[in-house]
Amino acid sequence: MANDREVLKVVWEGKIPAKFVIDSNDNDEVYYLNLPRISYFALCTDKVKKHFQRHIEKEDDIWFSYMDVPLKFHIPIGVIYDLLVSDNSLPWQINVHFNKFPEDILFKFPNKDVIESHFLSCLKEADFLKHKGQVICQLQKKDHKQLFLGLQNDKFDQFWAVNRRLMETTEQENGFKNLPLRCYTDDGYSYLQKLITPLTEKGQKKTLKDLLVEFSTPAKKPVGAKTHGIEVPLETELQWLSETLSYPDNFLHLCLIYE
């Protein structure tokens, strides 16, 4: 049960100050904005678009990059920052582009409906891993709407009124069946996804340390993991981590730290 409201609220409130710079020749126009870590670019950048309106030819073609790496629209903002900005510099300088949309790397700029359906399919996948999909099929359409609107309008209680049901475990199950998580390695956007259970075969609670062992290859061994901008202690229990530090799409996005 994700009942640690204090931690949940602090996680929810994280914001990264970003400096949007347009890459045009005549003027270095700048727009500052605080981006919620848990949200997606497409939901927060209305004001950016409005500010840079006169440069837009076709609205779909706006895209962002940091240090020449295009920023993906369907990954939460906090994850991209933790992945790409290794020196944690603030504010986050993001370049805005209006042409040469990199189709092979990014999805086309999505409108809110597309983001909503992507968000919901992430929730379905996460619930399939946690509860074999049984909790999410009990939710009605208005609950789906409530989740997305809560995320979009920064309504913590509205969101968690429904999300807490997705974070529940019954008394027979001792934790989720599998944990929805993605471990990003240190080369760009690639991530590792495996079936991870919250308990060992003997029934003990697994910690982050055990997870890092499971994601080790003979070539690379991770020594730590970072999420939401902080390094997670190795002794953290995985079940608690999944319930409390997941992003709103119910996935844990961990950036692995190698030696």
Partner 1 sequence: MSVTFTQEQFNVKALEFLEMSEKVHDTWQKEEKENTLFLVKNYKFTFKKEPLNDADDICAIQMLSEVFLIEYHVLLHPSYKVPTIYFNAYKNDKLIDLNDIKLLFCDDYDKEKYEIYNLLSQSEHPILFRPFFMIHPCKIGEVLGKFTETRNFIITFLTLYGPSLVGLKLNNEYEKFFIKD
Partner 2 sequence: MTENDFRNIILKRLTERNVRESKFEEMVYYTHRMLERNYELKSENLAITLENEKLRKGIDAGGGIDLGSIARIQSLEKKLLEKQEELMDLHKRKSDHQSMIIDLNVKVSDLQKQIEHKNISLNEQQKLNQMLKAEVNLLTVKVGKLEELNSTLKDEHTALHLLFGSLEEKLKKTQAENAQLLERLMKSKAKDAEKMNEENETFLRKKNDAMKRELAEAMGSDSNTILSPPINEDAFFHGCSAPNVFFGDEIPNKVHMKFDSNDGEVNAVRWSPLMERMIATGGADRKVKLWDVGKGNTYELRGNLIGSNQAVTSLDFDSTGTLILASSNDYASRVWGINDHRLRVSINIVILSI
Applying CB under 8 A, does 229 fall inside the site for partner 2? yes
CB-wise, 114 or 234, nearer to partner 2? 234
Out of partner 1, partner 2, none, which partner does residue 11 contact, by CB within 5 to 8 A per kind? partner 2
Out of partner 2, partner 1, none, which partner does residue 199 contact, by CB within 5 to 8 A per kind? none
Applying CB under 8 A, does 245 fall inside the site for partner 2? yes
Q: Binders of partner 2 among 10-49, rule CB under 8 A?
A: 10-11, 13-17, 31-34, 47
At 136, the amino acid letter reads I
Q: Determine contact, residues 51/152, Cβ cutoff 8 Å.
A: no
Q: Which one among 108, 112, 142, 221 touches partner 1, defined by CB under 8 A?
A: 108
Choose among 231, 210, 221, 229: nearest CA to 185: 221
Applying CB under 8 A, does 74 fall inside the site for partner 1? yes
CB-wise, 118 or 209, nearer to partner 1? 118
Residue with token string 């944690």: 88
d(CA 136, CA 125): 10
How distant, in Å, are the alpha carbons of 160, 215, 234, 240 from that of 175? 19, 21, 19, 9
Applying CB under 8 A, does 128 fall inside the site for partner 1? yes
Beta bridge partners of 16: 35
d(CA 60, CA 71): 15
Where does this chain bind partner 2 (CB under 8 A)?
4, 6-7, 10-11, 13-17, 31-34, 47, 51, 90-91, 149, 153, 155, 157-158, 161, 228-233, 235-237, 240, 244-245
